[in-house]
Structures are given as C-alpha cells and as structure tokens.
C-alpha cells in the first residue's frame, strides 16, 4: 500500500514534466522505465557487472522516479584522513602516530613511531618501534621520502622495526641509503653507531642474498651519532629545517628528545624519560609537544601483572606517570599536548585522562595508532586515519637501477644439485613476461 501511495505522485509529476517540456505522451511504460533508470545506473552497478552501454538492470528499485537519484540519502563530508588523498599547504605540518604502545606487542598499538610531514615536502620519522613499519607502509608514501629516522633511544619499542624499514623500504623503492640519527652514550658500546653497525652485521645473510637481484642502492645505513649530552644542540640543518636534541632521563645515560623548527613552527618529540628540566625549558611554547605518559600504576599491577614494587619503580621513576605528564605540560603550555606509551583501552583511557587532569587543563590528545594532527597557524585539526589493509608499495619516484647479476652469490654444488627440474613448468612464465615487456630473459 505504501508503495502505491509513493508511486502515484511520481506518475503525476512525470506527466506534468513531459507536458511542460513538450515531450510526446506516446512513449511506452518501458521507455519511461529506461529513462528513469538511466541517471542512476552507474551507482547501481556492482563489481563484475557489464559496462556495456544501454544494458539495463534486471529490476528497478521500488521508489525509482524520473526526477533524480534513487536514494534521498546524500554523501556528506567525512572527518577522517585517507592516506594519499590530501596535499599539505606550504604553511602546514601533518603528524601521524604510527606507534603509541609498549615493548609488549599487541595488534592495536605498535610501539613508538611518529611521522612528521612538512609543507616543504620533507618527511621525518621519529622512532621506529616494533610493529610500526606496517603503519608507515599504510600511509602510502613513496619510500624515497622515508629516508630520515631519528631515534630517541635504543630500547626495542623505539627502534625495533628499523630492520623492516631498512630492508623492506629498499626493496620497495628507497633508492638511497637510510639515514639514521641517534644518541651516543656513556660508552661506545651503548651508542647508536655500535647498535646499527651490529644490526647491519646481523643482516649479513639477508643482504648478501639480495645482491644481484634488485636495485642495490637502498641497502646501506648512513648513521649519524650525536652527543647525548647536547643541550638543545643542532643535529640536523637542511632545507630550512633545524632539528635539535637535549637529554632525557631513562634507564641509562643516552636517551634524548628532539625539537624540530621549521617555518616558525615548533614540534617537540619527547623520548622516554622521568620528567626533566630540559624538556620543561626547550619544549616551551611548542605548537605540538609529544611526551611519554606511562600506564597508570594501578593498571600496571592489575592488568600488566607487575608487582607493586616494580609498578611504582617503572611507572613513576623510569617513565612519566600521567600526573607528572600533566605537570610537565602545565609548564610548557603547548598548543597541543600529545600523550603516548600506554595501552589505550575502554577501561584505561578514563583513568589516564583523570590523572592528567589533576595537573593540566590545556589542549590534550590521548594518542592511539593512526591519529593525525594537521597543524596550521590558526588551528590544530585532530582526526583518525582510515587505512587500506590491502596496501601495496606506492610507485617508486625514480626508475630502478638494474642489478649487476654477476654479484649474485652462487649456491654450493650440493644445494644447487637439489633443484627439481621445473624448466618446462617455468618457461611459459619467461615467455609471457618477455613477450609483454620486450625482454629476453633466460632461465638460470
Ligand atoms: Zn625506553
Ligand atoms: Zn618506551
């Protein structure tokens, strides 16, 4: 009954429109049905359906009419960030949380990692903690732009995915060395250079096996170790961007925090620390200030199963407790304070917030992976990124260099002799590719 009531005015409207526009009234009902469907057909088309012009859907929706689209529900502006869909303005910075969690892995939160993009095209990664490389990949940025990493310290939750970015990035289009900046320590063995020299050694089998197969230029680490004691000392200055470091107090001597200055903006990334006077001084007035904010002590005991002694020692003395995070932010008064380094769940967020609010009442983001901040002079817009889990590497920005196949390290005769005869099975693959791409490749 309802359907008839809706249909009746449509027929009347059609007659009026047809009469006014001078159309003949002799067209058949089938003609009218086709006309009514024509504008909406592209929307109704499903994957796999024919694209053929003039093909009609089997059946029209019940409320189709001749005056507009089928559905009265219109698309609205959405308030999320879709990677690879927004250009940055010349006076704009974008920060994306690619890891906000802990050394203990969990699907919801990778460990510390922050991608800062500037309006001049520069991009910087601060920390690359365990699990974060896949978050970075989800942003669909060509790997040639992801060649600068700054490490706050050498805990695995702050550099544990460096190998994934190093090797995976080279494989997917970073045609130059990965540049890494990190602090020295009290002894050379605790410094960044030692750690990354040995990481490179640990990857000997991996890297040797890649020789002669793909573009070789990305498989190099370019490490700059700077003095962890530097007080707001410049460690990077290129293309109008200055990055400084100052010490943090955490576990052993060595950890640092970073200040980025560009185009009148000030961004601060704080590594793990007990609240310290240098952060209070050098982070003052930042446009955006990130500082660790550890799991609240009761949650450490109840949910993380720490003993009360360990929870107090780790949660208040090695790290920054939420109450102390608030105190720091009250001193530096940033345009936006960003807290990280806690498991952010439905039953932990409120207590973190309440504890911070005992000491701080300014702008605050309790971060989670894929949170996005767009920073301009006038506003700081906070959203979440919605990412595509089926992401593939974006196209490389340069043509790949052909590898020198003579560099390939051969198998031993024993291992090589174990190959099953697949020549007939694989030859069609060679034929297919040689035909399509005009190559003349032959099987080994
Ligand atoms: Zn740490
Ligand atoms: Zn940490």
Stretch 155-170: mean pLDDT, rounded?
98
What is the number of the ligand closest to the CA of 112? 2
Q: How far is the CA of 272 from the centre of ligand 1 (A)?
A: 5
**CA pair distance 299, 311, nearest whole angstrom:** 9
209 in Cβ contact with 198 (< 8 Å): no
pLDDT at 66 over 90: no
The region, left, alpha or beta by phi > 0 then psi within -120 to 50, assigned to residue 23 is: beta
What pairs with residue 237 in β-bridges? Answer: 242
pLDDT digits (tens, 9 = 90+) for 198-244: 999 999 999 999 999 999 999 999 999 999 999 999 999 999 999 99
pLDDT band at 12 (very low <50, low <70, confident <90, very high): very low
112 in Cβ contact with 132 (< 8 Å): yes
pLDDT at 47 over 50: no
pLDDT score of 72 = 85
Q: How far is the CA of 335 from the centre of ligand 1 (A)?
A: 26
pLDDT-above-90 percentage for the chain: 80
300-309 long-range contacts, CB within 8 A, separation 24+: 303/343, 303/348
List the structure tokens of 307: 């003993």
Question: If you average pLDDT over every residue of the chain, what do you get?
Answer: 88
Q: How far is the CA of 267 from the centre of ligand 2 (A)?
A: 19
pLDDT band at 140 (very low <50, low <70, confident <90, very high): very high
Q: How far is the CA of 189 from the centre of ligand 1 (A)?
A: 17
153 in Cβ contact with 121 (< 8 Å): no
* CB neighbour burial string for 145-169, b if at least 16 within 10 angstroms, e if fewer: ebbbbbbbbbbebbbbbbbbbbbbb
* CB neighbour burial string for 287-313, b if at least 16 within 10 angstroms, e if fewer: bbbbbbbbbbbebbbeeeebeeeebee
pLDDT score of 129 = 98
Could you write out the DSSP letters of every residue in 97-120?
A: EEE-S-SS--SS--SSEEEEEETT
pLDDT at 105 over 90: yes
pTM for the complete prediction? 0.84
pLDDT score of 37 = 40
pLDDT score of 233 = 98
395 in Cβ contact with 173 (< 8 Å): yes
Q: How far is the CA of 152 from the centre of ligand 2 (A)?
A: 9
pLDDT score of 136 = 98
Q: Which residues place a Cβ less than 5 A from the ion ligand 1?
A: 155, 272
**CA pair distance 151, 180, nearest whole angstrom:** 7
Stretch 137-147: mean pLDDT, rounded?
97
> How many helices (H) and strands (E) would you count in the chain?
16, 15
pLDDT digits (tens, 9 = 90+) for 378-405: 999 999 999 999 999 999 999 999 889 8
**CA pair distance 51, 411, nearest whole angstrom:** 51
Stretch 419-432: mean pLDDT, rounded?
97
What is the number of the ligand closest to the CA of 254? 1
232 CB-near residues (< 8 Å, 6+ apart) = 244, 245, 246, 259, 278, 281, 282
Q: How far is the CA of 130 from the centre of ligand 2 (A)?
A: 10
The region, left, alpha or beta by phi > 0 then psi within -120 to 50, assigned to residue 54 is: left
Q: How far is the CA of 153 from the centre of ligand 1 (A)?
A: 7
pLDDT score of 9 = 41
What is the number of the ligand closest to the CA of 157? 2
Task: Answer with the residue of higher pLDDT: 11 or 286.
Answer: 286
pLDDT score of 293 = 98
pLDDT band at 86 (very low <50, low <70, confident <90, very high): very high
CA dist 193 → 164, 167, 205 (Å): 18, 18, 20
Q: How far is the CA of 158 from the centre of ligand 2 (A)?
A: 6
**CA pair distance 57, 53, nearest whole angstrom:** 12
Q: How far is the CA of 289 from the centre of ligand 1 (A)?
A: 18
Q: How far is the CA of 293 from the centre of ligand 2 (A)?
A: 10
pLDDT score of 246 = 98
């Amino acid at each position: 009954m309802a359907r008839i009531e809706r249909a009746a005015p449509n027929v009347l409207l059609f007659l009026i429109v047809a009469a006014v526009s001078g159309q003949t009234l002799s067209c058949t009902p089938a003609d009218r049905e086709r006309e009514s469907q024509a504008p909406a057909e592209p929307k109704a088309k499903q994957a796999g359906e024919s694209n053929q012009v003039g093909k009609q859907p089997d059946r029209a929706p019940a409320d189709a009419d001749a005056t507009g689209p089928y559905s009265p529900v219109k698309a609205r502006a959405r308030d999320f960030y879709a990677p690879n869909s927004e250009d940055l303005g010349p006076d704009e910075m974008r920060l994306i949380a690619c890891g906000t969690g802990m050394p203990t892995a969990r699907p919801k939160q990778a460990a510390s990692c922050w991608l800062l993009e500037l309006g001049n095209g520069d991009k910087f990664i601060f920390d690359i903690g365990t699990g974060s490389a896949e978050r970075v990949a989800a942003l669909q940025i060509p790997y040639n732009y992801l060649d600068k990493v700054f490490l706050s310290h050498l805990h695995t939750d702050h550099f544990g995915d460096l190998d994934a970015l190093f090797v995976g990035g080279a494989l997917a289009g970073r045609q130059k060395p990965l540049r890494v900046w990190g602090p020295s320590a009290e002894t050379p063995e605790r410094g960044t250079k030692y750690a990354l020299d040995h990481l490179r050694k640990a990857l000997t089998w991996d890297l040797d096996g890649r020789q002669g197969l793909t573009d070789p230029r990305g498989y190099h680490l370019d490490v700059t170790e700077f003095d962890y004691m530097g007080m707001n000392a410049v460690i990077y200055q290129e293309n109008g961007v200055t990055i400084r470091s100052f010490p943090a107090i955490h576990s052993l001597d060595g950890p640092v925090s970073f200040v980025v200055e560009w185009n009148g903006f000030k961004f601060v990334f704080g590594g793990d620390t007990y609240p310290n006077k240098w952060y209070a001084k050098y982070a003052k007035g930042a446009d955006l200030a990130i500082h660790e904010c550890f799991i609240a002590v009761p949650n450490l005991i109840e949910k993380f199963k720490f003993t009360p002694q360990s929870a107090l020692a780790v949660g208040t003395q090695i790290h920054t407790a939420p109450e102390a995070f608030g105190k720091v932010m009250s001193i530096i008064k940033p345009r936006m304070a960003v807290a990280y380094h806690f498991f952010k769940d439905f039953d932990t967020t409120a207590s973190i917030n309440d504890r911070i609010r005992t000491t701080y009442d300014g702008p605050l983001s309790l971060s989670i992976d894929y949170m996005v901040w767009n920073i301009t002079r006038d506003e700081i817009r906070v959203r979440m990124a919605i990412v595509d889990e089926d992401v593939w590497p974006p196209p490389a920005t340069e043509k790949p260099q052909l590898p020198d196949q003579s560099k390939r390290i051969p198998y031993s005769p024993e291992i090589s002799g174990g190959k099953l005869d697949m020549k007939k099975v694989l030859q069609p693959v060679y034929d297919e590719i040689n035909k399509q791409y005009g190559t003349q490749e032959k099987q080994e």
